[in-house]
Structure 1
Amino acid sequence: MNALSRPLIDASPALLAEGYAWLPDRLRRHPDRVLRTRLLGRPTLAVRGPEAVRFFYDERNVRRAGAIPEPVLGTLFGHGPVHTLDGEAHRVRKEFFLPLLRPDLIAGLVEHVTWAWDEEVPAWTACERVVLFDAVGPVLTRGVCAWAGIPLDRADARSTARDLVALVDGFATLGPRHWRARRARGRLEDRLARLVEDVRSGRAAAPEGSVLDRLARHRDADGSLLDAGTAAVELLNVIRPTVAVGWFAVFTAHALHRWPEHRDRLRAGDTAYTAAFVHEVRRFYPFAPFLGGRAARDLSWRGERIPAGGMVLLDVYGQNHDEELWGDPYAFRPQRFLDRPVERDELIPQGGGDPRSGHRCPGEGLTIGLLEALAVRLARLEYTVPEQDLGIPLGRVPTRPRSGFVMTGVRTPAHAPAAVG
């Protein structure tokens, strides 16, 4: 019996039960870091490592069109987004997102979010308890909407944030979280599609050069304007990942609580150390378990074959915890990123490859810039962490501390240096 004819048991139930641990546990048993299995009824090849990243992001090997399951499109990404395109269509649509790599736009988003944070924190000091996961969502929502040119009253920020958080929280489950995410996407897409139509008709104004302004004018590969629904999807694919930074912000607070020795260098505004700390948060804590694509042709990787149309998975969580790459992967040690440069295809919490030409998230720089600013602010914030369940269940995707990270007695220091960002 050859390799392709071996019967494969569908691993979907195990994936739903085991979450982040499912793929790393299986690849650990294979010294070549490659695994054949079956997922959602399809033959599947799972790979890991910098060479595998380059294999995965080569469009001659793996394509995104048709690869993302409908439950993920219906919640996290929406239908018809850039993530599902390949070739020229992907390149032209990606041109809208590429300016997000510019340092001035990153700085602008950081400025808007830190303004919202600094305005909101005094209200936390008046609260008996603050659940950081719930509190940071409206801050990020207000900041990114102001930056993107999307009108949003402060009173609406909380409900809008709940919907944006729901999109991320419900993409990897078939239960109530999933249906909550679908309903949230319907509300958000309807609202933003109307906004795009109003901008195009002149009934509403978009700040010149803003994300909203550029998206309303963007033309696809065929030269036509995006239909309002697709424009709404892509607008959400700018603001939704920014709000998803809330997961990393809570992980940052979790790290500062577990390893408080890192606070002093962050408080002092040590920019190199802050960058290293943020990279370590993104490496150490679980966010995306893996990324998927479809084999563009019959493929072979390290002796294992996958037919055209089969699934190819890149083990994100496993690679970020690979002992061969990181030495002591389950130790939280920011110093590792001061001792060595960050290699593009080694650290892949938001994918690998070149963001300008491939499918790596172009908003990764935004995530890093925001986390650097928020890490400093969290380190300078004074609060008490009461008894609570800070466990991070790996069976839940996306996961977070069970308690959401409760703080009591929040207070701002009387004198603090100017914060990064």
Structure 2
Amino acid sequence: MSPHRLVPESLALLTEGYAWLPDLLRAENDTALNLRVLGKPALAVRGPEAVRFFYDEQHVRRHGALPGPVLSTLFGHGAVHTLDGDAHRSRKAFFLPLLEDDAVTGAAEHIVAAWDEAVPRWAARPQVVLFDAVARVITTGVCRWAGVPLAEGDEEQLARDLSAMVDGFATAGPRHFRARRARTRQEKRFAGLIEAVRSGVVEAPPGSVLDRVCRHRDTSGDTSGDMSGETAGDSAAGDVLAPRVAAVELLNVIRPTVALSWFVAFAAHALHRRPENRERLASGLRSGDTAFATAFAHEVRRFYPFAPFLGGQAVTDLTWQGRTVPAGGLVLLDVYGQNHDERLYKDPYAFRPGRFLDHPPARDELIPQGGADARTGHRCPGEAMTVGILETLAQRLAALEYRVPPQDLTIPLNRIPTRPRSGMLIQVRTP
């Protein structure tokens, strides 16, 4: 194929899923490729240098690049993910405390407590779908940590809705419309909570995520999210976020944490297929040694598919490795392909946690949650929390007495986001 030939590939994306972009780049034996997506010229890139190219705001912008269906399900309109430059940095200040060790520890402690409360209930049932059960556990724990009040039984509906937002962002049909309904329902609920805190009807725990999002002021950019009928207060220090936008950002702390249920299901899949890792994780829990658990968490995030690629718009006419894309065209970062690139990882399709004991992940090599600097760029600020909670729950899972009954454990690559078809059924034994 000519290096500058534009080929229509949108239909192939729908049928091939995660394999689509890696297969195209493999066919070219290259780390860059021109193609056409959604009627637009596009440039696909891969590799640590490409990550830095992609996250340079002089090259690629996010504002206007995310499709409406993704905003209406996964991120929410007016979210930090849609901003660039000073507006992005101002809004991201709300999320930066998630990078701190005490935030990771605090969230993990609440989620582990919810896990320990749930295990006896799991043991009393013939079997549980681990994916669904863990979503409820994480929802309970993260809401306690974030200061979000939940009435008895609320966590089940909230867990279903948060999972639906993730499950339906990259598809059409019933999953997508469930995601839209879930987001509408929870944005309305959380906006009402924001207003209740600001009016003094509900008290937010001081310093909690709920407290901070109610008080956060943007020093630049749009705090209304282009939502008619909503206004933000004026202050020399910036404007408070309109209730619906504040709700969006509160959900953007809680929703990605609950999305860990995908990784926990993958961790159980890995332990079933590679049982030699189980005792090593469990012994780490007994001894307090987390080195192998951290490596295991990184390998789960690298090996198993979650985000296929990331996209943005070219700020100006761009050239990368001899390939060009015009201003306004799409730039795609091949996340799944990079995480399985043999140039970066020996035997990339083998599950080997030990690779991260020998070689801790470099910032722009392992990119399941984006690349560049989480404090200043678009890399997920909750990545440290994801790793911390995943390593903790992986150890708890390894120490849990359970068996895996016969089921369909295939992971379809044409489903985005994917997971074991069965949701990972387990039968928990009473200690």
Q: Please state which band the TM-score falls in when normalised by the shorter chain.
A: over 0.9
Measured against aligned partners, the alpha-carbon deviations of 1:58-95 in whole angstroms (never above 9, x if no partner) come to 11111100110011001000001100100100010010
User: SS of the residue aligned with 1:118?
Assistant: helix
1:248 corresponds, among 253, 258, 263, to: 263
User: SS of the residue aligned with 2:259?
Assistant: helix
2:422 corresponds, among 399, 403, 408, to: 403
> TM-score of the superposition, structure 2-length normalised?
0.93
Measured against aligned partners, the alpha-carbon deviations of 1:27-50 in whole angstroms (never above 9, x if no partner) come to 112233111111111111000000
Cα contact 1:142–1:154 (8 A) shared by 2: no
Quote the residue 2:31 is aligned against.
Answer: 33
Q: Residue 9 of structure 1: CA displacement?
A: 3.7
Quote the residue 1:146 is aligned against.
Answer: 144
Cα contact 1:218–1:226 (8 A) shared by 2: yes
- Look up the equivalent residue of 2:12 and give its one-letter code: A
Q: Residue 220 of structure 1: CA displacement?
A: 1.1
Instruction: Judge which range, 214-223 or 232-241, deviates more.
Output: 214-223
User: SS of the residue aligned with 1:293?
Assistant: strand
Measured against aligned partners, the alpha-carbon deviations of 1:195-252 in whole angstroms (never above 9, x if no partner) come to 0011111111100000010000111124111100100110110000000000000000
Give percent identity, aligned residues only. Answer: 68
Quote the residue 1:201 is aligned against.
Answer: 199
Quote the residue 2:348 is aligned against.
Answer: 329
1:264 corresponds, among 255, 279, 302, to: 279
2:374 corresponds, among 343, 349, 355, to: 355
Which residues in structure 2 correspond to 1:17-416 (within 5 Å)? 17-222=15-220, 223-269=238-284, 270-408=289-427, 410-411=428-429, 413=431
> TM-score of the superposition, structure 1-length normalised?
0.96
Q: How many residues align?
A: 409
User: SS of the residue aligned with 1:96?
Assistant: coil
Quote the residue 2:233 is aligned against.
Answer: none
- Look up the equivalent residue of 2:271 and give its one-letter code: L
Q: Which 4+ runs in 1 deviate beyond 2 A?
A: none
RMSD over aligned Cα atoms: 1.1
User: SS of the residue aligned with 2:270?
Assistant: helix
Measured against aligned partners, the alpha-carbon deviations of 1:75-133 in whole angstroms (never above 9, x if no partner) come to 00000110010010001001000000000011000001001000011000000011101
Q: Residue 412 of structure 1: CA displacement?
A: 5.2
Could you list the runs of 5+ residues in structure 2 that have no partner in the other structure? 221-237
Q: Residue 14 of structure 1: CA displacement?
A: 1.1
Cα contact 1:32–1:302 (8 A) shared by 2: no
User: SS of the residue aligned with 2:35?
Assistant: strand
- Look up the equivalent residue of 2:108 and give its one-letter code: V
Instruction: Judge which range, 360-369 or 153-162, deviates more.
Output: 153-162
Cα contact 2:3–2:33 (8 A) shared by 1: no
Measured against aligned partners, the alpha-carbon deviations of 1:150-199 in whole angstroms (never above 9, x if no partner) come to 10124111111000000000000011000000000000000000100111
**2: CA distance between counterparts of 1:210 and 1:30?**
50
**2: CA distance between counterparts of 1:101 and 1:154?**
30
Q: Residue 411 of structure 1: CA displacement?
A: 2.3
- Look up the equivalent residue of 1:54 and give its one-letter code: R
Cα contact 1:381–1:412 (8 A) shared by 2: no
Cα contact 1:294–1:312 (8 A) shared by 2: yes
Cα contact 2:299–2:352 (8 A) shared by 1: yes
Cα contact 2:340–2:349 (8 A) shared by 1: yes
1:11 corresponds, among 9, 12, 31, to: 9
User: SS of the residue aligned with 1:268?
Assistant: helix
**2: CA distance between counterparts of 1:373 and 1:105?**
14
Quote the residue 2:232 is aligned against.
Answer: none
